Structure 1
Amino acid sequence: MAAESSMTSGVAGRYAAALFDLAKDAGLLDVVQRDLADLKHLIAENADLAELVRSPLFSRDQQTRAIGAILERAGADPLTRRFLGVVAANRRLFALRGMIDAYTALLAEHRGEMTAEVVSAHPLTDEQANALRDTLSAQLRRTIQLETSVDNSLLGGLIVRVGSRMIDNSLRTKLSNLQLAMKGIG
């Protein structure tokens, strides 16, 4: 059962496990995942929505009505709308990002996939992303999904996180290590 997974600790994990079990029973795993990804995107792009989710200053009723209206307008599945209505009514919207991440992790585990977070100095081309995905899949013997982001301060190279492992092959880190080594010489 998903609730026994190590990813289900804490409020966010317990809610995510419950949603995962409901979606699995209803055959809506992918539909709920799409709804959650869309909501996460909306929260990232809208400061007012992010404040609604985070702030305890909004009443239970305000949060419940607002999240319901947003999900209805976004075309979310009734299961997702009802579930997040319960989350809002229970005053747990502050943990929504963690719930979304935990649900995604449970779904990936269910499918035998792993997610690799890749931070690069410049956007990866499709060819580069595919080559990285293939390399990681061969190394880890699992299907890999990439979540990419760009951090211009890296100067060059990549930082890859898969589970608890991190590979920092960025130019920024290499220069920092070189600087530390040079201080040790002088």
Structure 2
Amino acid sequence: MTVTTGDDRRFPAALAAVARIEFDYADGEGVDFEPYDAFDSAEETTDWIRHWTGNHELDGAAYRVFGQDGAGGRAALWCVRAGRPLAEQPVVFLGSEGERGVVAGGLSDFLWVLADGYGPMEAALDDELESCPDPSLAGLAERYATTPRRPVRDIVTEVRAAFPSFSDDLDALCR
């Protein structure tokens, strides 16, 4: 069951700082991430999740989309932790071809994922997860993160364990 935190669409300062970063795709060897400078509107998010699932009864209230990859997959905060602020909601990735995964347990850990050289798509789909630190993103994470620095592998393993049914729950929404 998905629980929302209301219609809070105020863009966190940490995501605004991420939006100012240009990620280098490096011909498929880098990070495929295009951050937004604001959340998609509620209407855009509803349209996207309905098309992604084929379920036109859904609304997008459970998601705050804040970026995409080059193929149109979306990175979002998933508002599943009742009563908790947006920064404490898990970060998820939903790819344009049905790929999906949880990326980080909250915005702070997501900053450490970026600092370790991974974008949302790579963290959600890659099982190797070897650290490739990015000094400029590490500096950004040091300024905004409220959790201690940890390797991407630890962050992703932890959030996958916390939300083991994420993929199955999405499948249940699909028509």
Q: TM-score, normalised by structure 1?
A: 0.26
Which of these two proteins has the greater Rg computed from alpha carbons? 1
Larger fraction in helix: 1
Q: TM-score, normalised by structure 2?
A: 0.27
